[in-house]
Amino acid sequence: MLARRLGGALAADPLRRFPDGETYVRVRTPVRGRDVVVVCALDRADVRTVPLLLLAATARDLGARRVGLVAPYLGYMRQDARFGAGEGVTSAYFARLLSDAFDWLATVDPHLHRYSTLDAVYAIPAATVTAVPKIAAWIARSVSRPVIVGPDEESAQWAGAVAAAARLPCVVLAKIRRGDREVEISAPDGLRWRDHTPVLVDDIISTGGTMTATARELRRARFPQPVCVGVHAVFADGADAALRRAGVARVVTCNTIAHPSNAIDVRDVLADGVRALLDR
């Protein structure tokens, strides 16, 4: 779809695995003097990064004019500080790897918390597009009497923007993370909005811990069954089951990572971001 929208050719099967698990790269489509656009969602980034870097290096070696990366989901953004002694600030190291390999980057709603823009870590031009208007439109169409709930301070930028775009009330709760999968969410303040459908909005659903703890807290406060909306369906092992157990009414995501919950199409916004970079 992106190739069609950008008026480009689609290179067929440039990657395959050797029997020993290493990556074989062969770009048969001529790339000399052309813009090459590599599309790769960077969930499961550890598995995908080596083939991605090898493909970018091959395109450069074959004389591509520029090699750009479209990462609808950009991984490794959450380790944006040294939270404990000896930890790596892996967002910065990962950004360095990609900045060396590519000439530009386009992505959807990266997890910008302690970094205010991608330029703080990426040394290449970056287009950041947002799914917020699409999410707001989906909620307005699909949920009756919604109140937007941001599970924590980090989600406030998405929850607040969705609420503003759809002219809906918004509540932001507080989260304490106890471990990779264990989080505690504060109880909603007072009984306001209890006759509304809570729509939980966050950028990433990974273990589902944040959404499930929020859903449980809201149910305890006697809100109706919540709807969960995430931009990126990372869905680590067990997330689907955890969300089902928490009794949420529906889980919906954007199609930045292919997943059965994808219901909000952001390809056109992403294509516009890529077009702006290619026109530079």
Cβ pair 159, 131 in contact under 8 A: no
Residue 167 neighbours by CB distance under 10 Å: 8
Q: How far apart are CA 68 and CA 277, in angstroms?
A: 9
Considering only 91, 206, 255, 261, the residue that binds ligand R5P (CB under 6 A) is 206
| # residues near ligand R5P by CB under 6 A | 13
Q: How far apart are CA 54 and CA 47, in angstroms?
A: 13
Considering only 91, 130, 157, 210, the residue that binds ligand R5P (CB under 6 A) is 210
- 163-202 positions binding ligand R5P, by CB under 6 A: 183, 202
SS3 84: coil
Nearer residue to ligand R5P within complex by CB, 37 or 183: 183
The helix (run of H) or strand (run of E) holding residue 166 is helix 156-166
Least distance in Å: CB of 208 to ligand R5P?
5
Cβ pair 183, 211 in contact under 8 A: no
Nearer residue to ligand R5P within complex by CB, 206 or 261: 206
Least distance in Å: CB of 157 to ligand R5P?
9
Q: Quick one: which segment of 37-45, 56-64, 95-103, 206-214 binds ligand R5P (CB under 6 A)?
A: 206-214
Structure tokens at 112: 């910008």
- 118-157 positions binding ligand R5P, by CB under 6 A: 154-155
Helix axes 156-166, 132-142, angle to 10 degrees: 60
Residue 35 makes contact with ligand R5P by CB under 6 A:
no
- Given its phi and psi angles, is residue 116 left (phi above 0), alpha (psi -120 to 50 degrees) or beta? alpha
Kind of pairing between the strands at 183-185 and 175-177: antiparallel
Nearer residue to ligand R5P within complex by CB, 58 or 212: 212
Contacts (Cβ under 8 Å, ≥6 apart) of 93: none
Least distance in Å: CB of 235 to ligand R5P?
9
Least distance in Å: CB of 219 to ligand R5P?
17
Residue 203 makes contact with ligand R5P by CB under 6 A:
yes
Cβ pair 110, 163 in contact under 8 A: no
Residue 217 makes contact with ligand R5P by CB under 6 A:
no
Least distance in Å: CB of 177 to ligand R5P?
8
Considering only 31, 69, 204, 254, the residue that binds ligand R5P (CB under 6 A) is 204
Residue 256 makes contact with ligand R5P by CB under 6 A:
no
Instruction: Give, in degrees to the nearest 5, the angle at Cα 200 between 258 and 91.
Output: 60
List of residues contacting ligand R5P (CB under 6 A): 78, 154-155, 183, 202-210
